[in-house]
Chain A
């Protein structure tokens, strides 16, 4: 079975502070991992994927197969980063599983 765990439901930081949103996964094969973001009253959209190894809006995420983690990081949070963040795993037969999400609030 494939599973995605986001241990923090809520995360609150001040503007300019570093932020790390945790994601752990369980999957027997080689996973395809993603971070999606949902801004207020908008539909979910892709933030980044592990295979591209790119930085989007200052966010990065590294796949650690040993720890089965895919944490999302940003060195200096901005107020516009406030949103719900979902970690997702695409596994066998294109099954796409999401974590429960972390609501990030960046305070001024």
Chain B
């Protein structure tokens, strides 16, 4: 009964380095999302995938790319990390009922 699983839980990057955050769900959900959570800013949508094979930009897509690898997996890539991307990242998924299930979050620090 894993739900939504994100890896890694913690990561420290140097400015300019790249990395991919992984997300997988086992609930057969169609839609998946990536958010960043910053103090005072709430949850801001980076990218989402309404269904397998589609991706769309959210509010803050600059500096990020995504891949909906299959129905289960939705990854977020930082090509050249910047200190402004220091944040907590959450992956989520929704099914027909529209209730969102969240991963445990990835705390990313860019130095």
Contact = CB atoms under 8 A, between A and B. Distances in A.
Interface of A: 6, 9, 32, 34, 36, 43-46, 49, 86, 88, 90, 93-101
Given A9-B40, A49-B99, A96 B105 contact: no
Q: Which of B43, B48, B98, B105 has the most CB of A within 10 A?
A: B43
Nearest to B99: A46
Contact of A93 (B35, B50, B103): B50
A44 B45 contact: no
B48 A95 contact: yes
B32 to A, nearest CB: 10
Contacts of A6: 42
B64 interface: no
Nearest to A42: B104
B56 interface: yes
Contact of B42 (A46, A90, A99): A99
A9 B35 CA distance: 19
A14 to B, nearest CB: 25
7 contacts: A34-B99, A90-B98, A96-B45, A96-B48, A96-B92, A100-B40, A100-B42
Contact of B56 (A32, A86, A93, A98): A93
B61 interface: no
Contacts of A97: 45, 59
A49 B98 contact: yes
Contacts of A90: 94, 98
Nearest to B97: A49
Interface string B5-38: 0000000000000000000000000110101000
The 5 A-B pairs of least Cβ separation, nearest first, read A100-B42, A98-B43, A101-B42, A94-B31, A94-B50
A36 B40 contact: no
A95 B33 CA distance: 9
Interface string B32-68: 0101000011111100101000001011000000000
